[in-house]
Amino acid sequence: MARRNTYLAIALGAFFMFSLYLYNGIDTGSDMRIKRQEYVQNLQSKLGKLEEIAKANEKTIEQLEKELKEAKVEVENSRRNAIEEEVNDEEKNVGAEPKIDEEIDERRGNKVAHVHEVLQRNQKTTPSMSNVCGIRENVSSPNTELQMLDLYENWAFDNPDGGVWKQGFPITYDAEKVKSDEKLEVIIIPHSHCDPGWIFTFEEYYQRQTRNILNGMAKHLEAKESMKFIYAEVSFFELWWREQNEETRNRVRKFIEDGKLEIVTGGWVMTDEANAHYHSMLVELFEGHEWIQNHLGKAAKPKSHWSIDPFGLSPSLPHLLTSANITNAVLQRVHYTVKRELALKKNLEFYWRQLFGAAGHPDLRAHIMPFYSYDIPHTCGPEPAICCQFDFRRMPEGGKSCDWGIPPQKINENNVAQRAHMIYDQYRKKAQLFRNNVIFAPLGDDFRYDIDFEWDSQYENYQKLFDYMNNQNEWNVHARFGTVRDYFEALDAKLKSSETKLPTLTGDFFTYADRDDHYWSGYFTSRPFYKQLDRVLQHYLRSAELAFTLASIEEEGMVEAPIFQKLVQARRALSLFQHHDGVTGTAKDHVVLDYGKKMIEALRMCEDVLSEGLTILLGLDTTKPMQLDEYRENESVLPKRRVYSIGQNVVVFNPLARSRPEPVCIYVSSAEASIEAEPPIENQQISPVFNYAQNSLKIDDNVYELCFAVNLGPMTSASYRIVSDATRVHKVEILSNLSELKAPGFDLKELEPSISIGNTKVTAIFDTSGMLKTITHSADKTPIEMNAHFVHYGARKSQRKFANGNEDNPSGAYLFLPDGDAKRIDNDENSPIVIRGKCVSRVVSAPLSELQVLQTYSLLGEHDFLDMDTEVDVRSKENFELALRFETSVSSGDDFFTDLNGLQMIRRKRQSKLPIQANFYPMAAGVFVEDDKTRFTIHSAQALGVASLKSGAVEIMLDRRLSSDDNRGLQQGVRDNKRTVSRMRLLAEPMNAGGHGDKERIGFHSAVSHYATWSLHYPVVKMMAEATPKPISMKNFEAELNCDIHVVTMRTMAAPTAYESADMSMAAERKAALVVHRVVPDCRSKLKLPDEKCAFENEQISPISLIGTIKEARNSTLTALYEGEKMTKFEILPNDVKSIIISW
């Protein structure tokens, strides 16, 4: 079969090459034509024979394709079985970097196989970058055995009583049969889960416990020959490292080289996976990996992922991890029904594949821990009352106890036989849930190993248990201490010897429930004020990274070192907040304030970096720092806008790698203000500023909004002067029925019967209270109903028990447990204000005075989308959850799509068999509903919870105020609410027929929609500056990238920290990671980009064509742990996120 397929390919190739040859010779002389005609006749004869062969093969083509697919799957499975590590001590070449061109046997365990694959991606056959619309067919139907949405459709979610394993089922094994089975390998993994903020702040936890934990590690790993330990949170590790002498540091490096200590995942924190944007996830992962590389050595490069506490799991993180050469994962918080159903068929270990397919994107091999928690009672086996007796910290001397009333016993010669058999029995039962005779059991919990007693008691007692059970031949078991890497190496050996194949799985693990109907969908929205602040910092940090790197290239690395230190500190503040009790909004009040203070300080640092960077890029001769257009007085209030005076300058910076024609708006002190630019800006407008005060809309005296339409090139910075010249600007038209409203100098009219704003592309119509009714696009001219309104949920009482005897809990920071369906909130009779201008039009309303709602809809320039800002204050309520609901005319049925971390869109299906709270999902950046003709998308500038509870409906949670604790450890409700703004962008798209219907499990934004979310998350940076001699503009990218390419960041690399210096200085390297993301557009949309040539140019990306002064570019893994060969151009796979290291 394969040979015939090859012959056919050769024949077709010959035909193509000759056809090309003929085409090139069309205009040659007649003699040549005659000769070629003769040649063609001969070739036609040969082709006729080839056609006969092709016809003979016609019946086998389908079978060939089938076998080819099967072969690909076989190759993929073989590749997975390779041990995906770089060359290490065992191969006598510690830390050697794999070469891109070395010969690799990917089928039989070569340890550089996966890193080679990651580095080789740009050399593989990549879908043409010019054919952005043709890519979708190849990336939307991955071949997997397990698909989570399909499984949800099939499972009953009936929560039967499983006996001692309450959420599972009875487990038995044949004691005679196991004697002749392959030996059971048991690996006990000591660990300590350290939250960088939860009940205490990051620093408080370090002072109270984490310092002691790491001190104990350095002491006891040396003293105890067989002891091992894993650790995840680099933020704490770096803080501890500062205090150590070089002797201790070298001892720790030796532990790592010897395999006694493993750094797992290696991120700055153990990131949340619901609310965190992939950009920030990458920031925290990069920060941790860079620190490891700089200080712990090459043997410490993470190989395994450890995610035991985030409350639900996203495939976006595996995508980033595999691109960073991490290919094995341990996971914990998965819905208890999902665990049970996977365990029933021994599917708790699988290859987690991306929704967009396998081609070029490695799978992550995942292990889901089967039981309720990651603590010791729920990890050794199915019976927590027994497992708790083997947590020797819970002996009376350890200060902890077992909830089941039976304490551990110190192991001695009198009880070792009986105690060893007890835990051996648990290991055997746990092993029945997996396909191979190798298991692991974590030995730890939150902030464990903080006292010597625990190090001693766990080690000494377990060592006695190991020694006894390993000598019982009839038990056929070998138990030992180990690490996550040890476990997966043992699993590799078992898979290879048994020729067992693990299944593949696609989808995600939201929404998480740990018991009964207790779904953790509340934290998708908790503390929305700080979720929004998180994205503001993300934007300014990214902009500061770009400005610093571009300025450093311009100055050949001579930017002052203190500026780089501020950049690093801002990175670490954003990274810290990605912790799964940070951006989730699930920490104590004072801890939340501490996160906020750190982020506000980070914003000030970004301001300093941007000021320095843009000063260099624009060549400004000034010593006075620039200031960001907006500022915050503290960590608990919304930002204010600076007011520009005549004679000052506004400096702008476009942080996107593509041109953006859109208005820029600033506040000015004079109605006569205008912008002076070269060439002149024709489209300018001035309007009053409206604020909300005393439950009504007021005009802000002596402050005006000046908007001007510009087209900023990719990464362009510019400086414009503010002058007094009223002839340059258009005064807006204001419409309102508010009798007390006065706007001197402006045209003030009464509202028309139909309240609307529009441009040449889109028209939006509102009701009399300013709520959105319809959107109509000129591409279709069919109004799409919106019917926006506010609703609220109450919190159910917890005064009941479930049938299984479990106590109920109320809603809290984690749990969303409503008291029934949402109730509609009636609007006040307040009249909206309509502002119509040449480049910006707005509708401003205050529809709910009780909640002090201020809602502003804005139509910017000729954009296809409508911006919506909603300010709310729920502090007058108790046990109250506020949502904004759209009831559209889109016939979406039970289906809708939500984003995963801003990286991809996943199909959701409303499950009527599950409660309301189970049908809410995380919306990190967007949601859409669609039918054959229309799609309605909401892009969000912050993370919130979202649902579609009936066809065409989209419901977004805005804030929640709860008086009770939900019994998940926080020990408080959520009552520290702030006045909060949610920023969204609404896009109604007429669609052409087509697509894949129900079979697709992934969605794709259109090209216009991708631009909408990028420009929403990364708006034009505006800074207040002193006057410059003349307007200046600087194009910092020399070319524009394809419109399906997004520059995620340009991150200047850090040299090792000089811990011996007084200020622990951090110096910038003269190289940076250029990180790019290639999206897949849905070309069914009838909307078009203003300039679509970007979709059809630049087959490859050339870093030097973007920035001509760089010296070299190298291929790299995502977090630069592994660098490859020099390169001049590269391609990028669809949906991939890739790093290139540029040097100057």
Q: Which residues of 857-879 are buried (b: 16+ CB within 10 A; e: fewer)?
A: bbbbbebbbbbbbbbbbbbebeb
Long-range contacts of 848-856 (CB under 8 A, 24+ apart): 848/790, 849/695, 849/696, 850/876, 851/790, 851/825, 851/876, 851/877, 851/882, 852/692, 852/695, 852/979, 853/790, 854/692, 854/697, 855/770, 855/771
Dihedrals phi, psi of 57, to nearest 5 degrees: -85, -5
1079 contacts 1104 by C-beta, under 8 angstroms: no
Helix (H) or strand (E) holding 643: strand 643-644
Residues 6 or more apart whose Cβ sits within 8 Å of residue 712: 652, 654, 659, 660, 718, 1020
3-state secondary structure (DSSP) of residue 785? strand
H-state helical runs in 92-187: 113-120, 148-154, 177-180
CB atoms within 10 A of CB 110: 20
Instruction: Tell me the C-alpha distance between 31 and 42, whole Å.
Output: 17
Please tell me whether the peptide bond between 511 and the residue prior to it is cis, using omega within 30 degrees of 0: yes
Distances (CA, A) of 210 to 64, 204, 759, 1096: 59, 9, 58, 54
The C-alpha angle 659, 638, 543, rounded to 5 degrees, equals 30
Written as six digits, the tokens of 1000 are 């697709």
The length of the chain is 1144
Q: Is 309 a catalytic residue?
A: yes
The region that residue 610 occupies, defined by phi over 0 for left and psi between -120 and 50 for alpha, beta otherwise, is: alpha
899 contacts 927 by C-beta, under 8 angstroms: yes
835 contacts 841 by C-beta, under 8 angstroms: yes
667 contacts 644 by C-beta, under 8 angstroms: yes
Residue type, 920: F
Distances (CA, A) of 342 to 148, 169, 433: 11, 12, 9
Written as six digits, the tokens of 789 are 């309104």
Helices 528-554, 278-295: axis angle to 10 degrees equals 60
Nearest-Å Rg of the Cα atoms of the chain is: 31
The tally of CA atoms less than 13 A away on the side-chain side of residue 775 is: 31
Q: Convert 679-698 into a string of H (helix), E (strand) and C (coil).
A: CCCCCEEEEEEEEEECCEEE
Instruction: Tell me the C-alpha distance between 257 and 287, whole Å.
Output: 22
Residue type, 792: H
Q: Which residues of 745-781 are buried (b: 16+ CB within 10 A; e: fewer)?
A: ebebeebeeebbbbbebbbbbbbbbbbbbbbbbeebe
Active-site option among 195, 309, 767, 965: 309
Written as six digits, the tokens of 631 are 């500022």
Instruction: Tell me the C-alpha distance between 115 and 118, whole Å.
Output: 5
C-alpha dihedral over 149, 517, 902, 977, to 10 degrees?
170
| Residue for token pair 């804030």 | 959
Written as six digits, the tokens of 692 are 């909300």
Give all strands (DSSP E) within 74-153, no chain letters: 146-147
Residues 6 or more apart whose Cβ sits within 8 Å of residue 594: 197, 201, 202
Q: Cite the active site residues.
A: 309
